């Protein structure tokens, strides 16, 4: 029985165009005890592959973290399958603000040690002793309170293109990096301030809120459903939107607009821009912000060196990469000396 992808991204893209069906981009997570993640992984792949689900799903003993897309016509069947799994019944689904039928082009269900790479030893604290979850309306009230400290739990390349007003945005590459920095910076406020956190969909704040409570913070809150759910509630309830810019997302869209503000700049020329791209040189794939003019000038590359390599015949590019250890991760961190206007 097939338990892996057999189509390339290009082949899948052609099939999506041929089908002409709208797809929904969805994310969710759930902490739960999974006795045998490998068996559960195979169960999900078999059922979701039949429903034409595409995406990136991590399964571990501690639960599941999923970012995926499903044909709109298959959504009810997909939801019914989730509800048939005891710990996923009525799980909150974060539905993307901006839809893109090609947000994911493969179904990848992977078994990991953890559903979130946090670098923490969970045995040292109670991960279920989480902060108070708040909805969009309560969140808006909290962040206007002078006794509140608002912290963005995402990475530098995420907050660079969008964040809540007056939020602390740590200049970090990973979630784990931010935990100690924030604790040190806010050491004096553990007793008397309200620590309010947010992230993309909520999963990072689940772990961070428990961690900070363990470290002695008395009043810890987290935005229920993250930025994605906040934007939906703000729109549906006609609330003031206090998020400025774009929400970075980990799929082919790379971002969805929450407000019309453009708060970042092209990393190559400095003009206002909030469009993340990956360097077209397959041996690089650096994630960075690039405007349309620079994309044309640089042939979608991050540097002149990559531009020259990208212009070579494909077989020559492969030969240059042969035997070398290169990073081909789509979301390689957006830092490089070649980016003149990256702060």
DSSP 176-224: HHHHHHHHHHTGGGTTTSEEEEE-SSSHHHHHHHHHHHHTT-SEEEEET
The answer to whether position 65 is within a domain reads yes
Please give the tally of structural domains in the chain: 1
- Domain range for 61 is 9-111
Task: Pick the catalytic residue from 199, 266, 273, 291.
Answer: 199
The answer to whether position 270 is within a domain reads no
pLDDT tens-digit readout, 199-255: 999 999 999 999 999 999 999 999 999 999 999 999 999 999 999 999 999 888 899
Confidence band, pLDDT 50/70/90 cuts, at residue 3: confident
**What CATH number should be reported for the domain holding residue 47?**
3.30.70.100
In sequence order, the 6+-apart residues with CB closer than 8 A to the CB of 12 are 54, 105, 106
In sequence order, the 6+-apart residues with CB closer than 8 A to the CB of 315 are none
Active site residue 199: yes
The answer to whether position 98 is within a domain reads yes
Residue 314 pLDDT > 70: yes
User: What is the percent of the chain where pLDDT is above 70?
Assistant: 97
Confidence band, pLDDT 50/70/90 cuts, at residue 10: confident
In sign, the C-alpha dihedral spanning 82, 86, 90, 95 is negative
The answer to whether position 66 is within a domain reads yes
CB atoms within 10 A of CB 56: 17
The answer to whether position 233 is within a domain reads no
The answer to whether position 211 is within a domain reads no
The answer to whether position 301 is within a domain reads no
pLDDT tens-digit readout, 107-126: 999 999 999 888 887 778 88
Confidence band, pLDDT 50/70/90 cuts, at residue 2: low
Nearest to 329 by CA among 46, 22, 5, 56: 56
The answer to whether position 15 is within a domain reads yes
């Amino acid at each position: 029985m097939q338990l892996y992808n057999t189509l390339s991204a290009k082949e899948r893209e052609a099939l999506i165009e041929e089908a002409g069906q709208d797809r929904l981009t969805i994310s969710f997570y759930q902490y739960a005890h999974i006795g045998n993640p490998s068996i559960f992984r195979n169960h999900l792949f078999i059922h979701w592959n039949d429903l034409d689900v595409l995406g990136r799903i991590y399964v571990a003993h501690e639960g599941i973290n999923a970012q995926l897309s499903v044909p709109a016509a298959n959504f009810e069947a997909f939801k019914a399958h989730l509800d048939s799994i005891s710990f996923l019944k009525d799980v909150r689904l974060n539905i993307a603000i901006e839809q893109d039928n090609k947000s994911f082009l493969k179904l990848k269900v992977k078994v990991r040690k953890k559903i979130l790479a946090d670098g923490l030893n969970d045995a040292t604290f109670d991960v279920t002793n989480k902060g108070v979850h708040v909805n969009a309306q309560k969140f808006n009230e909290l962040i206007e309170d002078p006794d509140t400290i608002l912290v963005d739990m995402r990475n530098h390349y995420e907050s660079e293109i969008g964040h809540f007003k007056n939020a602390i945005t740590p200049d970090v590459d990973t979630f784990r990096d931010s935990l100690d920095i924030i604790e040190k910076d806010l050491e004096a406020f553990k007793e008397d301030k309200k620590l309010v956190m947010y992230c993309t969909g909520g999963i990072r704040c689940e772990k961070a809120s428990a961690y900070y409570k363990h470290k002695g913070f008395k009043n810890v809150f987290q935005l229920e459903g993250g930025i994605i759910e906040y934007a939906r509630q703000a729109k549906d309830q006609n609330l003031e939107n206090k998020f400025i810019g774009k929400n970075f997302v980990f799929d082919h869209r790379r971002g969805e607009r929450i407000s019309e503000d453009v708060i970042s700049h092209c990393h190559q020329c400095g003009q206002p821009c909030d469009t993340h791209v990956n360097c077209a040189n397959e041996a690089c794939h650096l994630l960075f912000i690039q405007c349309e003019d620079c994309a044309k000038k640089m042939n979608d590359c991050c540097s002149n060196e990559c531009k020259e390599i990208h212009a070579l015949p494909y077989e020559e590019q492969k030969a240059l990469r042969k035997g070398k250890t290169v990073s081909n991760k789509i979301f390689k961190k957006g830092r490089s000396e070649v980016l003149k206007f990256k702060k």
